[in-house]
Amino acid sequence: MSNKKTNCVKTQDTKKTKRQRNSRVAKTAVLGTVLGLCASAIVGLSVALYFADKTVETHESYQRQMDAVYFRAYYDLIEGANDMGVMLKKLGVSNSPTMQQSMLYEVWSAANLAENSLGMFESQDDGILRAQKFVNQLGDYSHALALRVAAGKPLTEEERERLSKLAEVASVYQRALTEFGKQLEDGNTFMGEDGALNNFTAAFSEFSQPDFAYPEMIYDGPFSDALENKQLVGMGGKDITAERGEELLNDYLSAYEVSDVAYIGEGEGDIPTYNFMLTADGAPAFAQICKRGGMLISYNVNIDDVASSKAVRQDAGPTCQQNALAFASKLGFDNMQVVWSSSAHGECVVNLAPVQEGVILYSDLVKVKLREEGSRVIGLDATHYAFNHRERKLDVPTITAEQAKQNLSIPAISEGRLALIPLRGTKETLTYEFECEQDGTYFVYIDALSGDEANILYVIDDEASGMRTI
Amino acid sequence: MRSSLIKDSTIVKILPAFLAIVLAAVIFVYCIPSDCSVAEAATLKQGSTGAVVKTMQTKLINWGYLSGKADGIFGSKTKAAVIYFQKRNGLVADGIVGTKTAQAMGLKLSGTTTTNGGGTSSTELNLLARVVYGEARGEPYTGQVAVAAVVLNRVKSSSFPNTVSGVIYQAGAFDCVADGQINMTPNQNAINAARDALNGWDPTYGCLFYYNPRTATSKWMLSRTVKLKIGNHAFC
């Protein structure tokens, strides 16, 4: 009995001890967890603070680097504008062709510096756009004049006066930049919420005033007004309707299985067009018909799954060329000749040019793109033809191809052929074209009247972008 | 009983430490800058499948190394074609497409965003293709060409910088530069569109701007005369 009692007491004791132990364990667990959480929160937050601090530091460092980029652009722009102004003033009084030439090159270089620096800033503002246009044209104009002076024709009185007037425009630049510079005083920078960058475009507002104008720079060059406002001389005929455009399109593409032709609207860019979506031989295509005359000016089949169409084989060149000529003829491009063709990425691009009195008219190119061993036309571009094609008044060459060949410095691998080539955008020159080979392929053009080198093109055979000349 | 008690107390002792580590890890992960993604090195070999395999097969078919149809499955025929390609291009002929073979094929294997320049002229093409992809990948093909053409029209225009990179990286000129989408790897469609534009195709005939009429907010942009609409973009 006593034994039993003892056992009972023992059991009770054990239970009590167990309860106590359990509650101790529970307390330890809670305390441990709380301490653990606190410790981890401290560790975690320290790490977080450390990284947050580091992020702010990185952010500030990036901001300073961006500031440096803008400061550099700004100071380069000032230097360019100042140099332009000074050189233009000097040109107004210079009488020596050597000095004139050297200073014109300096204006060109200063304008390039200004152009590059201005290009670093935001463009969506009329003032900036016109300021950019001015430096581009000024650089281009000075370069054209420098070349002319080098060819033995010094500046005329009228040109010197014009250059002096242009110096006044350069001073508008200087004014804008000086005014803007005031915002950079007292340690202000470009970046940040109140950064001066936000007000940069406003500084050029003078350029966007309706009465702001500068003397017209008349010259042949890529940025000349003559080139930017060029006329469509290659398209004759009357305006057609969209319905007639669709009929013509079906007729042009009669060799292909055309379906789902849908008129999707007009294009009112430099060449007014009617635009169509269609399906040609099962692939989606896009075509543009000129409103005036109804010429197919652009056609492109989109074969995004390259495997769905057979690639052009290496030996498909002649087939490509014949089919390109046949397609062009069907569209009404007559007297065309293949001047250049290349294949890459399973496509073959054939460049065709009209021939007049045996002279290739390079400004009037029509490009045809083909696939499937050269039998399927998948693209056409006749923009150059539309802009430029007309009956030319051609000069009579004063030297023969043989004489022109004497003026080449590297060996020719082709006979010379007569070609009218575009020079500096608007001018055309009658030349003999020679394909030459020396550590690469070159096309050298010799002036058919003077015998001088008129242009050199170098052929780049590049895996990614295909073969092209530069 | 005893052993289970020991187990309990061990758990009790370990638990706080475990929780502490987890919590610290969570805070750490949430707070560190997330710029430490690791570029994976991938290879293609027999048994691989997917879009990259299909692209590779298409290239091999176009170059005459493989006949048949690109099915996206790297089988024994594809392996033989890869070995043939490797032999012809002075590579180790093991039938496995690693970094070097992929580079020779102009193929991208991993999901990283860097791209190979590989020469001056293809840099221009690549840059243009990335703008097309970043700005207009959901647009119709002609719309993609048009975006590339706008870049090239700006290069030609006197009112903008005179190089492709100058135009693209001009401050505020393209959204894809501001939001970083320009750094994505372009797909074949974008590359083709860029190439078509470089070859002279300009569906806009001289446009210098474009915007999405549904999302554009710039008054200056909205005031311009729209000359052409393709997909979601108005060109002007």
pLDDT tens for B190-223 read 998 998 898 888 999 989 999 998 888 888 888 8
Partner-chain contact A228 B202, CB within 8 Å: no
In a domain, A37, yes or no: no
CA distance A6 to B37: 69
Tell me the pLDDT of chain B averaged across its residues: 77
Tell me the pLDDT of chain A averaged across its residues: 86
CA distance B233 to A127: 25
In a domain, A411, yes or no: yes
CA distance B72 to B58: 9
Which of A152, A187, A221 lies at the terminal end of a domain, its last residue? Answer: A221
Cα end-to-end distance, chain B, whole Å = 84
Q: β-pairing, B233-235 with A427-437?
A: unpaired
* Domain containing residue A465: CATH number: 3.10.450
Measure in Å the smallest separation between the Cα of B82 and chain A Cα atoms.
17
Listed range (A132-146, A296-310, B63-77, B193-207) with the worst mean pLDDT: A296-310
CA distance A38 to A61: 34
Confidence of residue A470 (pLDDT cuts 50, 70, 90): low
Nearest residue to B45 (alpha-carbon basis) of B8, B89, B82, B16:
B82
Among A45, A48, A122, the residue with its CB nearest the CB of B172 is A122
Nearest residue to A146 (alpha-carbon basis) of A111, A113, A108:
A108
Q: Which 8-state DSSP code applies to residue B113?
A: -
- The neighbouring-strand residues paired with A441 are A437
Q: What is the pLDDT of residues A40-84, one digit of tens each?
A: 899 989 989 988 888 988 988 999 999 999 999 999 999 999 999
Partner-chain contact A32 B173, CB within 8 Å: no
Q: β-pairing, A336-344 with A359-361?
A: unpaired
Confidence of residue A149 (pLDDT cuts 50, 70, 90): very high
Total Cβ atoms within 10 A of residue A231: 10
The set of long-range contacts for A148-155, using a CB threshold of 8 Å and a minimum separation of 24, is A149/A97, A149/A100, A149/A101, A149/A104, A150/A101, A152/A97, A154/A97, A154/A100, A155/A91, A155/A94, A155/A97, A155/A100
- The neighbouring-strand residues paired with A461 are A467
pTM: 0.71
% of chain B with per-residue pLDDT over 70 = 72
Partner-chain contact A464 B62, CB within 8 Å: no
Q: Is residue A374 predicted with pLDDT exceeding 50?
A: yes
Which of A388, A423, A451 lies at the terminal end of a domain, its last residue? Answer: A388
The answer to whether the beta carbons of residues A146 and A176 sit under 8 Å apart is no
Same domain, A153 and A194: yes
CA distance A204 to A77: 13
Same domain, A188 and A336: no
Which of A326, A358, A388 lies at the terminal end of a domain, its last residue? Answer: A388
Confidence of residue B224 (pLDDT cuts 50, 70, 90): confident
| Structure-token match 């046949």, residue found | A326
Among A121, A129, A384, the residue with its CB nearest the CB of B171 is A121
Compute the average pLDDT of residues A172-196.
86
pLDDT of residue A185: 82
If phi > 0 it is left, if psi is from -120 to 50 it is alpha, else beta; for residue A197 that is alpha
CA distance A37 to B21: 9
Structural domains present in chain B: 51-105 (1.10.101.10), 120-235 (1.10.10.2520)
Same domain, A251 and A378: yes
Residue range(s) defining the domain that contains residue A62: 55-221
The answer to whether the beta carbons of residues A302 and A284 sit under 8 Å apart is yes
Classify residue A260 by burial, with Cβ atoms within 10 Å: 0-12, 13-18, 19+. exposed
In a domain, A137, yes or no: yes
Cα end-to-end distance, chain A, whole Å = 116
pLDDT of residue A88: 93
The answer to whether the beta carbons of residues B206 and A269 sit under 8 Å apart is yes
B115 at A interface, C-beta within 8 A: no
Q: Is residue A248 predicted with pLDDT exceeding 80?
A: yes
In a domain, A45, yes or no: no
Same domain, A379 and A433: no
Considering only residues 217 to 236 of chain A, which have any Cβ-Cβ distance to chain B shorter than 8 Å?
A: 222-223, 228
Same domain, A262 and A314: yes
Q: What is the pLDDT of residues A400-440, one digit of tens each?
A: 999 999 999 898 998 999 999 988 767 899 999 999 998 88
Same domain, A259 and A207: no
In a domain, A378, yes or no: yes
Q: Which is it for the CA torsion B174, B175, B177, B183, positive or negative?
A: negative
More confident residue, B48 or A372: B48
Residues from chain A contacting residue B159 (CB–CB below 8 Å): 123, 129-130, 132-133, 136
In a domain, A434, yes or no: yes
In a domain, A204, yes or no: yes
pLDDT of residue B32: 47
The answer to whether the beta carbons of residues B203 and A298 sit under 8 Å apart is yes
Among A120, A126, A136, the residue with its CB nearest the CB of B171 is A120
pLDDT of residue B120: 44
Same domain, A207 and A66: yes
Q: What is the pLDDT of residues B15-64, one digit of tens each?
A: 666 666 666 665 555 544 443 333 333 678 887 877 778 778 877 776 66
Residues from chain B contacting residue A43 (CB–CB below 8 Å): 20, 24, 27
Total count of domains within chain A: 3
**Which pair of structure tokens corresponds to residue B119?**
């020469």
B32 at A interface, C-beta within 8 A: yes
CA distance A68 to B230: 40
Same domain, A316 and A420: no
Partner-chain contact A43 B199, CB within 8 Å: no
**Which pair of structure tokens corresponds to residue A255?**
């060799």
- Cα dihedral A247, A249, A253, A257, rounded to 10, equals -70
Q: Is residue A327 predicted with pLDDT exceeding 90?
A: yes
Q: CA of B157: which chain A residue's CA is closest? A: A223
The answer to whether the beta carbons of residues B122 and A464 sit under 8 Å apart is yes
Compute the average pLDDT of residues A266-276.
91
More confident residue, A321 or B113: A321
Compute the residue count for chain A: 470
CA B156 to chain centre: 27
- Cα dihedral B21, B23, B25, B31, rounded to 10, equals -150
Measure in Å the smallest separation between the Cα of A19 and chain B Cα atoms.
12
pLDDT of residue A9: 58
CA distance A395 to A358: 12
Confidence of residue A303 (pLDDT cuts 50, 70, 90): confident
pLDDT of residue A402: 93
Compute the average pLDDT of residues A291-318.
75
Task: ipTM value, please give it.
Answer: 0.77
pLDDT of residue A209: 84
pLDDT of residue A468: 62
Same domain, A210 and A355: no
More confident residue, A73 or A467: A73
Same domain, A381 and A246: yes
Same domain, A197 and A286: no
Q: CA of A28: which chain B residue's CA is closest? A: B12
Partner-chain contact A36 B125, CB within 8 Å: no
A371 at B interface, C-beta within 8 A: no
In a domain, A237, yes or no: no
Measure in Å the smallest separation between the Cα of B24 and chain A Cα atoms.
5
Q: What is the pLDDT of residues A200-217, one digit of tens each?
A: 888 888 888 877 888 778
pLDDT of residue B50: 74
Q: Which of A50, A61, A124 to mutate to test the interface with B (most CBs of B within 10 A)?
A: A124
- The neighbouring-strand residues paired with A262 are A277
Same domain, A200 and A311: no
